[in-house]
Amino acid sequence: MTAPLDTLVLGAADVAAIVDQVGRDELIDLMIARLRARCAEHSAGTTEVRARDGFRYDKPDLGLVEWMPTHEAGGPVVVKMVGYHPANPVQRDLPSVIATSSMWDTDTGHLVALADATLLTALRTGAASALATDVLANDGPITLGIVGLGAQAVTQLHAISRVRSIERVIALDTDLDVAASFPQRVAFCGVPVEVAEPERADTIAAEVDVLCTCTSVDLDAGPVIGDTTPRPGLHVNAVGADFPGKLELPGALLSDAFVVPDIVDQCVLEGECQQVPRERIGPPLAEIVRDQPEHRSRRNDVTVFDSTGWAVEDDVALRLLVECAQERGIGRRIPIEYLPTDPYDPYAPPR
Amino acid sequence: MTAPLDTLVLGAADVAAIVDQVGRDELIDLMIARLRARCAEHSAGTTEVRARDGFRYDKPDLGLVEWMPTHEAGGPVVVKMVGYHPANPVQRDLPSVIATSSMWDTDTGHLVALADATLLTALRTGAASALATDVLANDGPITLGIVGLGAQAVTQLHAISRVRSIERVIALDTDLDVAASFPQRVAFCGVPVEVAEPERADTIAAEVDVLCTCTSVDLDAGPVIGDTTPRPGLHVNAVGADFPGKLELPGALLSDAFVVPDIVDQCVLEGECQQVPRERIGPPLAEIVRDQPEHRSRRNDVTVFDSTGWAVEDDVALRLLVECAQERGIGRRIPIEYLPTDPYDPYAPPR
């Protein structure tokens, strides 16, 4: 092997080109299909997932930089690095979640690819909710509630619109400007959106078939959803809770629900499962997808998908992006690693 | 803040340009000086270092991909990703250690820089040994022994030659081809090198003032150094042991020595400290450097620096590289993260 070992770098413009060329619908459909397939074949024995870890700080605004590593036996190592800085949109006109993902070859340790994962994170989070909805919610047409109308809300709606016919969306946010711009941001989905007052969160669980919560609620300030009797068969995608003390759902809703975590240990620490006794937590999403027929009757129950973010979703997303890029010749190849012409001499000129 | 947020990418050619323009000697001197300064000001209270973790596999050759994250309060988050694939040089003409380092801004979560860390790893490992040698070894001129003559050996010799006058080097490796090429690889240091037979490892501890061990000895195959009575005042930089079961030094040498770990918990797991009772392990290198006058009398003892790799070294190295690049306008700036023009719309065009 004497060819230079380049790294495929997929930056902002490359990701935009992929979305343009593949199309939003096709891309999210692929993401859902790949995640479904990976869930079906998932076994903890062949895929290692390290618990998300990172550095958290208040200076004075909350911020964190975290890593989410995974390794499927025989496949590459994939690590997503993700920053969460909730003050970003208001203070800096930047998304609260900014991320990159990288892929390493496990024969050599070579960095194969580095890509933006900001859009991928929104896509895979939407895809996971769509998959949970497809398995756990009744067939449509459905009324969809969305609480918290930031970036994640766009892909929640988009992804769910690919697995269910949506009759109507009730959408709300405590930030009225963010709420007002939502219909325009999701116009491409072709679904009627009603922007409701923030107070509607009190009763929304009784009014919809599927509910997505994706807020940036402050620590210890939740829940954001009212403690009303939920509509029978309600399915909730709880996306926002991903930090100790951050909660969106009322305990009563959870205590009557079939709760499906994405990754149980992380959900117990950071997700809605903070409020759920361990013995009441259901199987993880991958198992529900794998054994779908067996869980079909759960559609009549109130169900909650506790989505804290699963590194395997990021692995699936990066591999799909790289595949799309390679098929279209998108991205640049950069020799990043200094691989000396003499492997025993670190100062030898690079290949 | 409306300027695009680029990432500074420092690839192989950029690192080569920095080495050329700064000069090898000046670069290693800067690395040693920066690491010395960082040790002197180091306090665990302001710098968080996560234990190195990663994925390890045998397929059938041993390999691993690991991450080494650190965060100095008020500074960036720095993560080195490092692959160790000891079959690389022989099977693939690649270095066994291949690495990249990245830096994140803790106001926004933005990826500020990504750089090769293959050369940096060799430099910082050399710099750490030079620092330990400078503090713990007697003043020169010295005789230096080096066991294991791969890539790390080059920067061990180079870095130590910057803090001590080296009268003579006795160098050996079980791979005779690797041994034969060593004098030419370190010719730039201007130090006479005697290549010895591999068996000389049995007695070398009695023949030198400073000894560096930097082998790729197999797990459970060590020690590589003979159990002879060491020369009084011998200082050893034990660089190779960085994996459970991987050891280079005989227990007897360690049991009589003052043992200085780079990061104690990691050394107990992966370094020579696997063989040292916890209560016999001395203070970490940063403390020894900070309190140097207090430890000066240790120069008369046999001392061992157990160098498993400290994430703070990688932080220092990356910051220095970025600074050198910025001063010289080296590197390319790439908008990697997809930062949408509307932070609430992940599909909005990137900035």
| A68 interfacial to chain B (CB closer than 8 Å) | no
Which two structure tokens, joined as six digits, stand for A168?
């109507």
CA distance B174 to chain A (A): 14
What is the per-residue pLDDT for A101?
98
Chain B residue numbers touching A148 (CB-CB < 8 A): none
Task: Beginning with the edge strand found earlier in the chain, give each strand of the sheet holding A142-147 in spatial order.
Answer: A193-195, A166-172, A142-147, A210-213, A235-238, A303-306, A258-261
- Would you list the DSSP string of A145-207? EEE--SHHHHHHHHHHHTTS-EEEEEEE-SSHHHHHHHHHHTGGG---EEE--GGGGGTGGGT
- A2, A63, A151 ranked by CB distance to B93: nearest: A2
Chain B residue numbers touching A82 (CB-CB < 8 A): 109
Pairs of residues, one from chain A and one from chain B, whose beta carbons lie less than 8 Å apart:
276
Q: What is the pLDDT of residues A188-207, one digit of tens each?
A: 999 999 999 999 999 999 99
**Residue B157: DSSP 8-state:** H
**Best to test chain A binding among B6, B56, B318, B347 (most A CBs inside 10 Å):** B347
Chain B residue numbers touching A19 (CB-CB < 8 A): 347
What is the per-residue pLDDT for A147?
98
CA distance B255 to chain A (A): 32
Omega within 30 of 0 (cis) for the link into B230: no
| A37 interfacial to chain B (CB closer than 8 Å) | no
Which two structure tokens, joined as six digits, stand for A112?
């194969």
Are B104 and A123 within 8 A, CB to CB? no
- CB-based contact B136:B164 (threshold 8 Å): no
- A95, A182, A343 ranked by CB distance to B339: nearest: A95
Using CA atoms, how far residue A212 sits from A95, A234, A314, in Å, is: 19, 11, 20
CA nearest A338 in B: which residue? B12
- B19, B102, B185 ranked by CB distance to A344: nearest: B185
**Residue B278: DSSP 8-state:** G
- A50, A55, A332 ranked by CB distance to B71: nearest: A55
What is the per-residue pLDDT for A59?
82
What is the per-residue pLDDT for A46?
86
Owner of token pair 């002197």:
B40
Are A346 and B151 within 8 A, CB to CB? yes
Q: Which of B197, B198, B200, B122 is nearest to B157 (CA)?
A: B122
Q: Dihedral (C-alpha) B254, B256, B257, B262: value to the nearest 10 degrees?
A: 40
Chain A residue numbers touching B69 (CB-CB < 8 A): 53-55, 67
Chain B residue numbers touching A351 (CB-CB < 8 A): 12
Asked if pLDDT for residue A2 goes beyond 60, the answer is no
Chain B residue numbers touching A96 (CB-CB < 8 A): 343
Q: What is the pLDDT of residues B156-215, one digit of tens each?
A: 999 999 999 999 999 999 999 999 999 999 999 999 999 999 999 999 999 999 999 999
Chain B residue numbers touching A347 (CB-CB < 8 A): 19, 24, 119, 154, 185, 188
**Best to test chain B binding among A26, A31, A64, A65 (most B CBs inside 10 Å):** A65
**pTM (predicted TM-score):** 0.94
- A88, A346, A351 ranked by CB distance to B155: nearest: A346
Kindly give the residue spans of alpha helices, DSSP state H, lying in B137-227: 151-161, 176-185
**Best to test chain A binding among B68, B330, B338 (most A CBs inside 10 Å):** B338
Which two structure tokens, joined as six digits, stand for B55?
């994925």
Owner of token pair 């993260």:
B337
| A188 interfacial to chain B (CB closer than 8 Å) | yes
Question: What's the rounded mean pLDDT across residues A83-94?
Answer: 93
Chain A residue numbers touching B344 (CB-CB < 8 A): 89, 149-151, 154, 178, 181-182, 185
**3-state class (DSSP) for residue B247:** coil
CA distance A301 to chain B (A): 32
One-letter amino acid for residue A238 of the chain = A
Are B107 and A85 within 8 A, CB to CB? yes
**Best to test chain A binding among B154, B239, B333, B336 (most A CBs inside 10 Å):** B336
Asked if pLDDT for residue A225 goes beyond 60, the answer is yes
Q: What does the radius of gyration of chain A's CA atoms come to, in whole angstroms?
A: 21
The interface predicted TM-score (ipTM) is 0.94
One-letter amino acid for residue A302 of the chain = V
- What distance in Å separates the CA atoms of residue A6 and residue B12, rounded to the nearest whole number? 10
**Residue B189: DSSP 8-state:** G
**Residue A350: DSSP 8-state:** B
What is the per-residue pLDDT for A300?
94
Q: What is the pLDDT of residues A140-174, one digit of tens each?
A: 899 999 999 999 999 999 999 999 999 999 999 99
**Residue B275: DSSP 8-state:** G
CA distance A37 to chain B (A): 24
Q: Of the given ranges (A56-60, A136-140, B256-260), which has the lowest mean pLDDT? A: A56-60
Q: Which residues of chain B have pLDDT under 70?
A: 1-4
Are B54 and A69 within 8 A, CB to CB? yes
In chain A, residues 106-145 whose CB comes closer than 8 Å to chain B: 106-111, 114-116, 118-119, 122-123
Strands (DSSP E) along chain B, which ranges? 7-10, 47-49, 53-58, 62-72, 77-84, 97-104, 111-116, 142-147, 166-172, 193-195, 210-213, 235-238, 258-261, 303-306, 332-334
Task: With residue A313 as reference, give the H or E element that holds it.
Answer: helix A311-328
Rank A65-74, A239-248, B214-223 by mean pLDDT and report only the highest. Answer: A65-74
In chain B, residues 80-99 whose CB comes closer than 8 Å to chain A: 81-85, 88-89, 92-99
What is the per-residue pLDDT for A3?
52
Angular region, A109: left φ>0, alpha ψ -120 to 50, beta rest: left
CA distance B207 to chain A (A): 25
CA distance B132 to chain A (A): 21
Exposure of A133 by Cβ count < 10 A (0-12 exposed, 13-18 middle, 19+ buried)?
A: buried
Question: What's the rounded mean pLDDT across residues A28-51?
Answer: 90
